[in-house]
Amino acid sequence: MKFQLLHTDSGSKARVGELHTDHGIIETPIFMPVGTAGTVKAVHQRELREDINAQIILGNTYHLYLRPGLDTLEKAGGLHAFNGWKKPILTDSGGYQVFSLSHKRKLTEEGATFQSHIDGSRHLFTPERVMDIQRSIGADIIMAFDECTPYPCDFNYAKNSMELTHRWLKRCIKRFCETEPKFGYRQFLFPIIQGSTFPDLRKQSAEFVASQDLFGNAIGGLSVGEPAEEMYAMTDLVCAILPENKPRYLMGVGTPVNILESIAFGVDMFDCVMPTRNARHGLIFTWDGILNIKNEKWKNDFSPLDASGKSYVDNEYSKSYVRHLFSSNELLGSMIASVHNLAFYLDLVEEARQQIKSGTFSNWKSKLVGQLSRRL
């Protein structure tokens, strides 16, 4: 995998790059739509390609392991062949899902034992097993197995968890190096930095992860309930330690403002369920702010969803019509809103890339952050 830095912003640490994989080139900074179970909810692959212009999507090891299962995925020829997505894919290792199943899992040095949320069956994820599963899924970028610490947690818990994640990482690397891709194209392993919101731990974890000299580096354990200021402080600290010649991935982040602020710290890759999850509840992201399409005020508003003039769906889909779809519980409402929100996120990072190239990113961001977070 080749990562090429093309531009840097004079007023911040923001940068533009290209990440080369066997399924295509990814322009960074980039937002990656989340397709947990092999599909981005309520969005067709054709829309991802043509309307949203997604360059890479995510799958999840935990969910795909349980359903459809590795036997089906291997017979299909991997996730790309199974879901028809020809561009790059990244798979999360399942560490966050194990974290979210705290009442149904047990952590040991060996790994994590958990109960399936589907049928209650018990399973063991070890670092080695997670590498094997991601070989079978066949994503271009695969993640090391980690423990995502809760917020808040005390220093000793965060320290022990981080050290466990580091030991698991060494086992992931060993297994990754002992095995080969299954479907004729290369896969690349990213480690994950932990340490909660403790600067000393984050520094230690970033230094350890950087020393492993893998293909890229991820920042985990943030956007789990901590104040935005703490998330930004940890992100800034970590990016100052990580090598400049490798992509930096901030996991699970976030709002449009979170993304812009983190780009300024030097982050290259983002993912979050927010665009599609919020869309299914009628929350629409626009260049003027956030609107709740279910509100009565939009009942007779026949303007496009984004009044700025940048409309991501056909103009025939007015605020009034989309509100009607939600009021009538029509599935098309969630579909239109999901395509719109994802397209907005992808347009946001594309515009950020252009601003960085022009040397105007910092001023542009400063003017935009207050606008994007206001409620319409």
Which positions are annotated as active-site residues?
Answer: 92, 271
Identify the three-state secondary structure at position 366: helix
Identify the three-state secondary structure at position 135: helix
Would the CA dihedral through 298, 331, 287, 313 be positive or negative?
negative
Residue 260 in contact with residue 232, Cβ under 8 Å?
Answer: no
The answer to whether the peptide bond before residue 152 is cis (omega within 30 degrees of 0) is yes
Q: Where are the alpha helices (DSSP H) in 212-330?
A: 228-241, 256-264, 274-280, 319-327
In order of 6, 123, 151, 191, 272, the CA distances from 345 in angstroms are 22, 36, 27, 25, 10
Which DSSP helix (H) or strand (E) runs through 36?
none
What DSSP string describes 257-271?
A: HHHHHHHHTT--EEE
Residue 339 in contact with residue 313, Cβ under 8 Å?
Answer: yes
Within 13 Å, how many C-alpha atoms sit on residue 282's CB side? Answer: 18
Alpha carbon distance 240, 238 (integer Å): 5
21 forms beta bridges with: 24
Identify the three-state secondary structure at position 89: strand
Burial label for 116, CB within 10 Å (0-12, 13-18, 19+), is: middle
C-alpha 102: how far from chain center:
21
Report which DSSP code applies to 347.
H
